Amino acid sequence: MTTALPERDGHEAVVTLDRREGPFGEVVLRQRGRHYEIIANGCFLMDTVDGRSERLLIQAALDELDRAGGAGERAGGPSVLIGGLGVGFSLAYAVAEPRWARIAIVEREDAIIDWHRNGPLGAFSGGALEDDRVAVLHTDLLEYLAAADGERYDALCLDIDNGPDWTVTDSNNGLYGADGLAVLWHRLQPGGVLAVWSAQPSVAFEEALRAAGFSDVATHEIPVSRGVPDVVHLARRGG
């Protein structure tokens, strides 16, 4: 990793730790004080300041499975696919819950996986990538989900880009449209739960979920220090 001289941003020094060109553009890891940030193509994606909404992404899906029953009893416990490794909060939280029988984590950026295996983000994922239940899938989420012979999961927990209404990478828009939601529906077991993180609430996305055949659509809001709350959109595939 390379270290650049700090840039001044407000009252904190911002240090660029690594900068890489990937198949979808530039990805940057920066340090701001005690915290780390991931920047994609010049746009802020996430940081390590507050992982409450990323943890809720996992917990809300598990709670919804428990509420309805059935799906979580299959093969000794439920399976979950987490879309997006990010700074590792969601994966670490899933690994800390013994009820998950299988955990797949999909991340298309080699740099982000490396920052967890060999860099400072490993402190936030806490070695979760090495858990026996975890399969690290280094691929594009849309391509993985679209595979005809793909596995079905009890829960899909997606933290891709900044959510349905604000994407940094144009190709991610396809995940939240009618075709993408149809793919997600088919990748869930009957009774399975879809949880989608977003940087802002989206009534339009709730309507799209219902139009795609999902039921029990709900939105959980997480207040943040400034601006609109983070949210987790929840929906269920009927039996």
The per-residue pLDDT for range 30-55, each reduced to its tens digit, is 999 999 999 998 988 899 998 998 99
Reduced to 3 states, what is the DSSP secondary structure of residue 22? strand
pTM, to two decimals: 0.89
* Cα separation values, 64 from 47, 58, 215, Å: 27, 10, 12
Kindly give the confidence (pLDDT) of every residue in the chain, 239 residues in length, as a single tens digit, with 9 standing for 90 and above.
444 434 444 567 899 999 999 888 999 999 999 999 999 989 888 999 989 989 999 999 999 999 877 555 565 899 999 999 999 999 999 999 999 999 999 999 999 999 999 999 999 999 999 999 999 999 999 889 988 678 999 999 998 866 675 555 555 567 888 899 999 999 999 999 999 998 888 899 999 999 999 999 999 988 766 667 889 999 999 86
- Please list, in sequence order, all residues whose beta carbon lies within 8 angstroms of the beta carbon of residue 203, skipping any fewer than 6 positions away: none
With beta carbons less than 8 A apart as the criterion, state whether 190 and 153 touch: no
Q: What is the mean pLDDT of the chain?
A: 87
pLDDT in tens, 83-94: 999 999 999 999
What is the 3-state composition of the chain as percent helix, strand, coil, each rounded to the nearest 5?
A: 30, 35, 35
Integer CA distances (angstroms), 169 to 40, 84, 175, 196, in order = 9, 13, 11, 17
